[in-house]
Amino acid sequence: MSEKSFDVLGLGNAIVDVIAHAEDDFLAAHALVKGAMTLIDEARAETLYAAMGPAQITSGGCAANTAACVASFGGRAAFIGKVKDDALGSIFAQNIHAFGVGFETRAATAGPATARSFIMVTPDGERTMNTYLGACQGLGPDDVSEEMVRGSAYIYLEGYLWDPPLAKVAFRKAARIAHAAGRKVALTLSDAFCVDRYRDEFVDLLRSRTIDILFANEHELRSLFGTAETEAAIAALRETDALGVITYGAKGAMTVTREETVAVPAFPIERLVDTTGAGDLFAGGFLFGLARGRSEKECLRLGALSAAEVIQHLGARPERSLKEFAEQEGLAV
């Protein structure tokens, strides 16, 4: 394998998470949409930061979390995303490099600050995100390294890339290079409201076979196909050629293809603390398994184990080695 050879390459918004516990009353008082990711401007960011509870700073970003998860299993992972050369940008870079994830995207030297997501975790463990995109607005096709894409078995793209102006161009470029090199392209739908914003384009990505693997939770999937019935959404997904990976929170997860369905239960946990990153880590475990040639059932189990680790503490990055955790649980990889 060359230096530029990876199991998984994530492309996404490079975000520092500012995370705090909050009561449901706080969400109501600040008109926050529970469970959703809402985009905010700098003034709103400052207001929320001043009002929220004692915050911790952790590195985040959907695809970056997934890349860190793959690396925590001992997989080779890389990430493309845009920070600024400021203090939060250094924090993001230190964290992802310390996981062993390849991250070389040039930091912006001018323009808005490194992105941050203000995350309120309510007593039920649900997270509500408010994201100031900042430097992510500068991500564009020039940031996509052809060499990195060609060398990566799986390219993982987040739906949130539709929010900044040029990131979707980067997304399409990465997908094109990947397919030309015989690689697989995965998309996560990210958030049901994000799907609302870009439904037609996301459906087109599936129908045009721009993506090979779709990660979604049941809400996102129903939103994608404009139906209130999960079964109808799954039936619509089966009509495409994509491998669907659907997560149901505490009810487990499953894969669906035209012919087949494989399901696993959620991995048992002691205490739900914070669901931030659950979907990202699920995708990371699943993709690591795929890259190592494991069966779909085993991939689902690795995803479930990863999600279980991350929801038992604050923050979206694993706090223990997932390789060791998987070995302990008899899922040696």
Binding site for a copy of itself (CB under 8 A): 20-21, 49-50, 52-59, 68, 86-88, 91, 94-99, 270, 313-315, 317, 319-320
CB nearer a copy of itself, residue 130 or residue 247: 130
CB nearer a copy of itself, residue 84 or residue 222: 84
Per-residue CA distances from 328 to 269, 307, 321, 332 (Å): 15, 16, 11, 8
CB nearer a copy of itself, residue 88 or residue 236: 88
Q: 181: helix, coil or strand?
A: coil
Per-residue CA distances from 149 to 79, 87, 142, 183 (Å): 10, 28, 13, 8
CB nearer a copy of itself, residue 72 or residue 210: 72
The least CB distance from residue 317 to a copy of itself, in Å, is: 6
CB nearer a copy of itself, residue 29 or residue 87: 87
CB nearer a copy of itself, residue 70 or residue 167: 70
The least CB distance from residue 229 to a copy of itself, in Å, is: 39
Per-residue CA distances from 315 to 5, 25, 216 (Å): 28, 22, 20
The least CB distance from residue 159 to a copy of itself, in Å, is: 25
DSSP helix, strand, coil percent of the chain (3-state; round to 5): 40, 20, 35
Amino acid (1-letter code) at residue 190: S
The answer to whether 77 and 70 are in contact (CB under 8 A) is yes
The least CB distance from residue 252 to a copy of itself, in Å, is: 26
CB nearer a copy of itself, residue 242 or residue 307: 307
The pair of three-digit structure tokens given for residue 68, joined into one six-digit string: 């860190």
The pair of three-digit structure tokens given for residue 106, joined into one six-digit string: 């040039």
The least CB distance from residue 140 to a copy of itself, in Å, is: 26
The answer to whether 223 and 252 are in contact (CB under 8 A) is no
The least CB distance from residue 20 to a copy of itself, in Å, is: 7
The least CB distance from residue 111 to a copy of itself, in Å, is: 16
Q: Any bridge partners for residue 15, and if so which?
A: 60, 115
Rounded Cα distance between 180 and 93, Å, is 30
The pair of three-digit structure tokens given for residue 323, joined into one six-digit string: 């390789």
